[in-house]
């Protein structure tokens, strides 16, 4: 009888193992990319593999859970339940990312001033070969205006010099590494690094005199990838929110 029960429970253990392997693929893919062990596309591939295992485990796990109740297999039910929790976490993460990705355009170069975006200087060399071009094309501008109409310059009564200092402080507060500050041109260059995958997005803040105060423009550009999943626009709004 025990042997029969063990035969019945192999699928329960397989669902649990699938959930563990799925999470491992996501973690290993992210960390390997972050520390430069492999190309970011390899990391995204492992990330996708983990998501596929999670989705498959979730479907099979729900079926298996019903079987454990109908056949009264409490031991198998425990393994299936743990596997289901892991797979549900994976499916939740991927589901959220999928919904976000579908809700925003596949662009990665965002600026509050699309006609004359803040220019990069020192960071151009740091971006290296194989990174996204910095040119802001009209089709990208059109998509940005449609998706992020609220990404606008900040007009303030604060003097340009003081605003430049505030902008540097805002970047540091948000955990964005400041690379260059040019008081003569009113430009600050910085780089933001994502927590999990270690993707780098470059930021330029430009402060200019405007009437009795200043006008601030912010630009954020991803080094790699076609879509930023809304990250650059979100970052720009966070910076402006710190300055207001």
Percent pLDDT > 90 in the chain is 88
C-beta separation of 180 from 192 below 8 A: no
Mean pLDDT within 102-114: 96
Q: 116, exposed or middle or buried, with CB in 10 Å at 0-12, 13-18, 19+?
A: exposed
Q: Residue 6's pLDDT is what?
A: 55
User: In the structure encoding, which two tokens stand for residue 137, read together?
Assistant: 């094309």
**Interior CA angle at 145 toward 144 and 147, to 5°?**
65
pLDDT digits 0-9 by tens, 1-46: 444 455 458 899 999 999 999 999 999 999 999 999 999 999 999 9
Residue ranges covered by each domain of the chain: 2-103, 109-243
pLDDT digits 0-9 by tens, 117-175: 999 999 999 998 899 999 999 999 999 999 999 999 999 999 999 999 999 999 999 99
The residues with which 201 forms a beta bridge, in sequence order, are 192, 222
pLDDT digits 0-9 by tens, 191-205: 999 988 999 999 999
109-243 has which fold? TATA-Binding Protein (3.30.310)
C-beta separation of 161 from 183 below 8 A: yes
| Cα–Cα distance, 167 to 165 (Å, whole number) | 5
């Amino acid at each position: 009888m025990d042997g029969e029960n063990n035969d019945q429970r192999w699928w329960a253990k397989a669902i649990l193992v699938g959930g563990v392997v799925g999470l491992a693929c996501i973690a290993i893919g992210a960390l390997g990319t972050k520390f430069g062990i492999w190309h970011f596309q390899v990391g995204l591939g492992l990330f996708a593999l983990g998501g596929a295992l999670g989705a498959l485990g979730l479907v099979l796990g729900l079926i298996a859970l019903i079987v454990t109740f109908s056949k009264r297999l409490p031991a198998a039910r425990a393994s299936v339940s743990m596997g289901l929790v892991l797979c549900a976490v994976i499916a939740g993460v991927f589901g959220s990312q999928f919904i976000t990705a579908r809700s925003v355009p596949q662009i990665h170069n965002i600026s509050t001033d699309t006609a004359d975006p803040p220019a990069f200087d020192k960071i151009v060399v740091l971006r290296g070969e194989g990174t996204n071009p910095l040119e802001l094309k009209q089709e990208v501008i059109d998509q940005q205006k449609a998706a992020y109409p609220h990404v606008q310059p900040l007009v303030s009564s604060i003097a340009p010099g003081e605003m430049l200092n505030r902008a540097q402080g805002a970047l540091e507060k948000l955990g964005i590494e400041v690379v260059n500050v040019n008081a003569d041109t009113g430009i600050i260059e910085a780089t933001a690094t994502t927590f999990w995958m270690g993707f780098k997005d470059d930021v330029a803040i430009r402060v200019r005199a405007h009437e009795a105060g200043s006008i601030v423009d912010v630009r954020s550009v991803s080094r790699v990838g076609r879509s930023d999943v809304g990250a650059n626009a979100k970052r720009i709004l966070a910076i402006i929110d710190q300055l207001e």
